[in-house]
Homo-oligomer: A and B are copies of this chain.
Amino acid sequence: MTALDVAREAGVSQSAVSRAFTPGASVSEKTRTRVLAAAEKLGYRPNPLARSLMHGRSGIVGVGVGNMENPFFVRTLELLATALDAAGLRLMLFPATRDHDAEPSLQEVLHYRIDALVLLSVNLSSNLADQCRKARVPVIHFNRTSADAGTSSIIGDNAAGARTIAAHLLAGGHRAMAYMAGTPDSSTNRQREEAFTAALLSAGLPAPIIEHGHFTHEGAMAATRRLLLREDRPDALFCANDTMALAAISVARHELGLDVGREISIVGYDDVPMAAWPGFALTTFSQPCEGMVARTVEMIEALRREPESHAHHVAQGALVVRSSTRPVVARAR
């Protein structure tokens, strides 16, 4: 079924068919309905591939995802798939894991004349950033910021989150704090680490002990062991995401026999579904995933009509207190 078939059926020219399917085109109401009826009858829909060949945009959004081990990104991906779908856009997924070099994949994706590129916690090499700029493909960093000019970003307020967590642990009477870092070169990790450290310092405490868990379960298990087998074992641990915090709970409880929430407090970040399970009851800072995804799609739509309208959005979250942290003690006066 091509536009020509519909044109014949409706007794109009082929371009009339095209116009009938183009939002702001100059067609009389009469021909439009006539064409739409014929199209309906023949089961015709304009071919997006042919269409994109003309105006250089395919209606596809490229989405690069790194760590799918983290349920927060899985949820994000799921919401994004639904939201893009509702917006009439297609989602082209490509792997962007650290080991499997993402460059060739992304380059390939770029050839599909994508309307936008969304990166879920993935860094963009400056080389690729250049290519996107030249190809006029807007880039949106999700849960990460980038130094590249001209890109957009959606992040949570990491500094506020880290400060809230610090305050909660301090109020619980903790003094020996540790921070389990994610990948050191991610803005998300840096912002959380810096704000947490600053909050401790300004409370008159030393900087936290730091171990690197690389945002993964495996990495966090090893980091937890290093941390909790020290002579000067910390009694509070802030992990830069929930995936690591859940691993830390496992190790603390099952390998080291610690009573989590009494002998040691553990806090995460994201509030993934598992954090609420009774076996974990993880205190964590919740990020508003739905809202962040909605903002992402709004940005894409804005970028489609105004390619230079990049923006940076910071979403607010909230601390969800469960029993993996010591209850707040009444402050002595």
Given A49-B49, A254-B279, A255-B278, A95 contacting B111 (CB threshold 8 A) = no
* Cβ-based interface call for A186 (8 A): no
Q: How many copies does the complex hold?
A: 2
Q: Of B68, B81, B250, which contacts A93 at CB under 8 A?
A: B81
Among listed A16-24, A26-34, A50-58, A290-298, interface-contacting one: A50-58
Complex CA gap A93/B80 in Å reads: 10
Which single residue of chain B is at the shortest CB-CB distance from A100? B82
* Cβ-based interface call for A48 (8 A): yes
Complex CA gap A75/B68 in Å reads: 8
* Cβ-based interface call for A322 (8 A): no
Determine if B105 and A85 form an interchain contact, defined as CB atoms under 8 angstroms apart.
Answer: yes
Determine if A49 and B45 form an interchain contact, defined as CB atoms under 8 angstroms apart.
Answer: no
Which residues in window 61-101 of A have CB below 8 A to B?
63, 65, 68-69, 74-75, 77-78, 81-82, 85, 88, 90-95, 97, 100
Given A49-B53, A74-B68, A111-B47, A94 contacting B91 (CB threshold 8 A) = yes
State how many angstroms separate the Cβ of A194 from the closest Cβ of chain B: 31
* Cβ-based interface call for A273 (8 A): yes
State how many angstroms separate the Cβ of A32 from the closest Cβ of chain B: 21
Chain B residues within an 8 Å CB radius of A82 = 95, 97, 100
Complex CA gap A63/B93 in Å reads: 10
Determine if B109 and A81 form an interchain contact, defined as CB atoms under 8 angstroms apart.
Answer: no
Determine if A95 and B81 form an interchain contact, defined as CB atoms under 8 angstroms apart.
Answer: yes
Complex CA gap A74/B280 in Å reads: 22
Chain B residues within an 8 Å CB radius of A109 = 90
Determine if B78 and A95 form an interchain contact, defined as CB atoms under 8 angstroms apart.
Answer: yes
Determine if B48 and A112 form an interchain contact, defined as CB atoms under 8 angstroms apart.
Answer: yes
The 10 closest A-B pairs by CB, nearest first: A254-B278, A68-B78, A81-B95, A93-B93, A82-B95, A91-B93, A85-B105, A74-B74, A279-B279, A49-B49
